[in-house]
Structure 1
Amino acid sequence: MKKLAFLFCLLIPFLGKSQGLEGISQDDFAHTFSIVARDTVTGEMAVGVQSHWFSVGSIVSWGKAGVGVVATQSFVNPAYGPEGLELMANGVPAEQALTQLIEKDSGRAFRQVAFLDANGNVSGYTGENCVEAAEDLQGRNFSVQANMMLNADVVPAMAEAFLKYSDYPLAERVVEVLKAAQAAGGDIRGKQSAALVVVGPERTNNAWEEKKIDLRVDDHQDPIEELSRLLKVNRAYDHMNKGDLAVEAGDMEKALKEYGTAEKMFPENLEMKFWKAVALANSGRIEEAKPIFTKVFEADKNWKEMITRLPASGILTISEAELKEITE
């Protein structure tokens, strides 16, 4: 670590905020391990990353639906993210796009970058001055890369895990890759932050549709396990959102199915219990809903007030007498 600190001090006089792809930014110092990958069935693309650095997801991971994903790390130049995605959006394949940006980057010896485009083309680069153990490895529809690792086993372990968990959904598959990296030794400095971004296969003009999953763990003792937990929560709330849409459409059977699935994933979550009970009540199954409402109200009385406000919005479609039965 003293040698690393000395190296960094030597570099500081030459560092400045990056303008485009010129120079190295002294504020963007993210030695890490990451993966960019594509699911050949769904067309989804993902970036997963972990580092012993605060908020690694804010500078390393980039993605755009229907275009591609980027991981830019080591002495990070964040311009690789937006500029790489712009090139790929204009039809430049991943390898050509990365090469083009590296060639004009005076700090390329310190960079580690990976590009993957919507066609599954992938490219990685590790500058000669990246701190060992540093390596990138590409396979069909993925690239894994790492620098400042405890040993040289990390990157091969990541590639092996990506192939091993081929039957997993892409997001869960990426998390398994990160777990494998950590199990193989991980960052020599330890653990601090992690991130996961998943984008879809089709382009969109709506900013809110760009990322299907966007999770960050900025500071945690075990960031990959926390990322894994958040992914499970994310999946559960996907079902909650589908349930909400079903309620909006008046399809209470579908709403009940979606809310029920979410509740099974997190059986102690009051929100999930409450909306499942609402769906039951709206389906005429008041007697089934009552004990669920009772349990929720006992745990938090605010939900009892909440239910009295729903009929006016049309979300709860039971009679006044039935509402009184539930709340008394």
Structure 2
Amino acid sequence: MTFSLVARCPETGMFGVAISSSSPAVAARCAYARAGVGAVASQNVTDPTLGPLTLDLMEEGMSAAEAIAEIQATGKYIAYRQVLAVDTQGGTAVHSGPNSLGIWTEARAENVASGGNLLANDTVPQAIVDAYLASSGHIGDRLIAAMRAGLSAGGEAGPVHSAGMLIVDKVSWPVAELRCDWTEDCPIENIATAWEVYRPQLDAYIQRALDPREAPSYGVPGDE
């Protein structure tokens, strides 16, 4: 019911996750990232504990491959789960249990991994990886380009209704967390529109948190 990617920007060290599904509020259950550690997507008959656990393992020093191997060895009902991870060195790993739903597959390269289930066809994750690698600019722009490519390649077997994008950088909170929890329109395009609005303000929101004395104006009525 889902297709996604986890990615690292080698220039900035930012991590990101982008995901879409026919199910509601997919990003609330499936997207995880931690600054200086990595990014994880936990999907397909989702166990939300696997995202934080995989990040904990990587924060303790495991690579993405080692963390996924540990999840495979210890996770409950792991044959039903699909888990993607990328680490600080750009290493990637994917677990796709044999009980993943419908057409399921995965693709990965340095700094990016993609996986999906109940897909329209088995080319979708590779299209996502290829688009991420071919794109440039801010990691948010690249995540959007990759998800659009996955949708163009067929996406899910049925219409998608929710999507999300999560980005972490040097601070302890997400610098961008954009979600469309349900729509009859295209949720990926809803996220893309939100990103166009949010991206020019991203640094200002970080600065307001770190030191509001140096922050730009708020751009609202009454602000001087």
Tell me by how many angstroms 1:138 deviates: 1.1
Distance in 2 (CA, whole Å) between partners of 1:37 and 1:238 is 19
Runs (5+) with no aligned partner, structure 1: 1-30, 260-270, 275-302, 311-315, 317-328
Q: 1:168 aligns with which of 114, 122, 137?
A: 137
Give TM-score, length-normalised by structure 1.
0.63
Alignment identity in percent?
27
Distance in 2 (CA, whole Å) between partners of 1:140 and 1:189 is 30
* CA 72–247 in structure 1, closer or farther in 2 if over 3 Å, else same: closer
Which structure has more strand as a fraction of its residues?
2
Distance in 2 (CA, whole Å) between partners of 1:87 and 1:57 is 21
Kept in 1, the 8 Å contact 2:175–2:202? The answer is: no
SS in 2 for 1:75: coil
Structure 1 match to 2:161: 192
Amino acid at match of 1:113: V
Q: Which has the higher contact order (CA 8 A, sep 6+)?
A: 2
Q: Does 1:112 align with 2:82?
A: yes
Structure 2 match to 1:178: 147
- The one-character-per-residue Cα deviations of 1:200-246 (angstroms, maximum 9, x if unpaired) are 1x4x5xxxx42111111101221000000111111132365489799
Tell me by how many angstroms 1:79 deviates: 1.2
* CA 197–108 in structure 1, closer or farther in 2 if over 3 Å, else same: same
Structure 2 match to 1:42: 12
Kept in 1, the 8 Å contact 2:175–2:206? The answer is: no
Map 1:67-86 to 2 at 5 A: 67-86=37-56
Structure 2 match to 1:229: 193
Distance in 2 (CA, whole Å) between partners of 1:105 and 1:39 is 29
Distance in 2 (CA, whole Å) between partners of 1:164 and 1:188 is 25
Structure 1 match to 2:178: 215
SS in 2 for 1:84: helix
Distance in 2 (CA, whole Å) between partners of 1:246 and 1:100 is 40
Number of aligned pairs?
222
Amino acid at match of 2:100: C
Distance in 1 (CA, whole Å) between partners of 2:88 and 2:140 is 16
Distance in 2 (CA, whole Å) between partners of 1:158 and 1:241 is 29
Give TM-score, length-normalised by structure 2.
0.91
Amino acid at match of 1:233: V
Structure 1 match to 2:125: 155
